[in-house]
């Protein structure tokens, strides 16, 4: 007779649907420069209109995830995700047939609603894992690899299919998730899980701190990434050198989650998170103030690696904060919300006050996030929570 499932086995069963869902939902983040260009060229949209469509999808996705995490009972999350998959596939297909800006905006909003339902299930199940940091690290690594693969495959498809390739890829990828999401275990509305240590729901104020901290750090990361080309030009780099820095930085994103997965909790939770964010802040400051290719490239590589290294520990912390998964789902959506809003926010700052003011804002966002994590840690320690 088979014995009970071991924690490692349970984590392995969660990995495939969570990693696949994360990879599909976050794909537009990695392809955003290509997507924006395809919409401008293929549909004749202005860059502002194309950016608005992409932001609309991510903002809708994040808001639906937050709404579901706060309102829906956990026992409904799996069904909510499956229904969201159907809506997302339908919206992606409709987007292929809709050339008008307003109608396409409605389709992208519907796609965001469906993807938000899916993202709720994927991120909300993280507290079910025994080793949350390692599961988060492997999941983020798969997302980066998936995005990198499509960075290679997407341009040839654009030549053949035009802008419709964007929505075809998303429709096929979302449809393929159906059998994987069905594999997620059914959960009750009680705190997770058979494997994870049970934790009481955090106090409202303390629970809100973590998603706000994640949002602050990620809008800073998005602002930085948006204006790396401008910072490169300011550092006296040519277009070819800037493209090389962007390509190598995209590959370097993988270093962070791999390192976090290997390190796991050997140094605890706080030291890797705080250390990673401080090094990341210093690297962004160096990149925006340096001159010449060697220093600019090195700073960007360090920034890319420490970005997702810190994200893994941020996700792990939110998964430990609340056994019901609501804080984890809300915080994960804050990653997408921050990166989705960052380009428009950063553009306004640069237009009004220049790159140096943007750098000051980025540093302030990271320091605000660290402050909020510190407040959360102090309150959690005072309440006797891990």
Domain span at 297 = 204-382
- Whether residue 171 sits in one domain with residue 313: no
- Whether residue 249 sits in one domain with residue 173: no
Q: What tokens appear for 382 in the block?
A: 């005072």
- Whether residue 25 sits in one domain with residue 164: yes
- Spatial separation of the C-alpha atoms in residues 214 and 282, rounded to whole Å: 18
Closest CA to 225 of 140, 284, 310: 284
188 within domain boundaries = no
pLDDT for 171: 93
pLDDT for 349: 87
Task: Identify whether the C-beta of residue 62 lies closer than 8 Å to the C-beta of residue 337.
Answer: yes
- Whether residue 94 sits in one domain with residue 173: yes
- Spatial separation of the C-alpha atoms in residues 85 and 115, rounded to whole Å: 7
Q: Any idea what the CATH number is for the domain that residue 295 is in?
A: 1.20.1250.20
- Whether residue 322 sits in one domain with residue 176: no
- Whether residue 309 sits in one domain with residue 215: yes
The rounded average pLDDT for each run of 10 residues, N- to C-terminus, in the chain (386 residues) is 47 77 84 78 82 86 87 86 94 90 93 91 75 76 82 83 89 90 68 45 63 91 86 87 84 84 75 92 94 93 91 80 74 83 82 88 94 81 56
Q: What tokens appear for 162 in the block?
A: 């035009």
- Whether residue 215 sits in one domain with residue 316: yes
- Whether residue 218 sits in one domain with residue 116: no
Question: What does pTM read for this prediction?
Answer: 0.76
- Report the number of distinct structural domains present in the chain: 2
- Whether residue 31 sits in one domain with residue 63: yes
Rounded to 10°, the helix 204-226/326-353 angle is 40
Measure the CA angle with vertex 108, ends 328 and 250; round to 5°: 60
Q: What tokens appear for 252 in the block?
A: 């370097």
pLDDT for 95: 93
Return all residues near 75 (Cβ < 8 A) that are at least 6 apart.
186, 187, 188, 189
pLDDT for 204: 54
């Amino acid at each position: 007779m088979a014995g009970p499932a071991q924690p490692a086995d349970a984590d392995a069963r969660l990995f495939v649907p969570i990693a696949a869902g994360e990879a599909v939902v976050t794909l537009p983040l990695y392809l955003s420069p290509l997507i924006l260009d395809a919409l401008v060229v293929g549909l004749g949209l202005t860059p502002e209109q194309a950016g608005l469509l992409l932001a609309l999808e991510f903002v809708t996705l994040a808001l639906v995830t937050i709404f579901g995490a706060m309102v829906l009972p956990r026992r409904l999350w799996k069904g909510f995700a499956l229904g969201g998959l159907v809506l997302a596939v339908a919206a992606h297909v409709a987007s292929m047939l809709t050339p008008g800006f307003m109608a396409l905006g409605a389709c992208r909003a519907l796609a965001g609603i469906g993807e938000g339902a899916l993202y709720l299930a994927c991120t909300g199940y993280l507290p079910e894992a025994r080793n949350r940091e390692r599961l988060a690290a492997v999941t983020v690594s798969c997302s980066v690899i998936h995005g990198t693969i499509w960075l290679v495959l997407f341009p040839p498809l654009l030549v053949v299919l035009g802008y419709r390739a964007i929505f075809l890829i998303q429709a096929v990828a979302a449809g393929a998730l159906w059998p994987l999401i069905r594999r997620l275990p059914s959960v009750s509305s009680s705190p997770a899980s058979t494997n994870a240590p049970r934790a009481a729901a955090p106090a409202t104020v303390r629970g809100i701190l973590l998603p706000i901290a994640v949002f602050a750090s990620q809008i800073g990361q998005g602002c930085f990434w948006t204006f790396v080309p401008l910072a490169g030009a300011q550092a006296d780099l040519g277009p070819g050198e800037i493209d090389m820095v962007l390509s190598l930085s995209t590959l370097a994103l993988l270093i962070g989650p791999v390192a976090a997965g290997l390190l796991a909790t050997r140094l605890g939770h706080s030291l890797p998170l705080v250390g990673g964010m401080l090094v990341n802040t210093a690297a962004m400051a160096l990149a925006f103030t340096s001159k010449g290719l060697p220093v600019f490239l090195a700073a960007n590589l360090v920034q890319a690696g420490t970005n997702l290294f810190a994200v893994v520990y941020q996700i792990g912390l939110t998964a430990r904060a609340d056994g019901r998964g609501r804080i984890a789902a809300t915080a994960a959506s804050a990653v997408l919300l921050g990166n989705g809003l960052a380009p428009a926010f950063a553009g306004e700052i640069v237009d009004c006050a220049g790159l140096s003011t943007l750098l000051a804002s980025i540093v302030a966002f990271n320091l605000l996030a660290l402050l909020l994590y510190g407040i959360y840690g102090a309150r959690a320690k005072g309440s006797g929570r891990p």
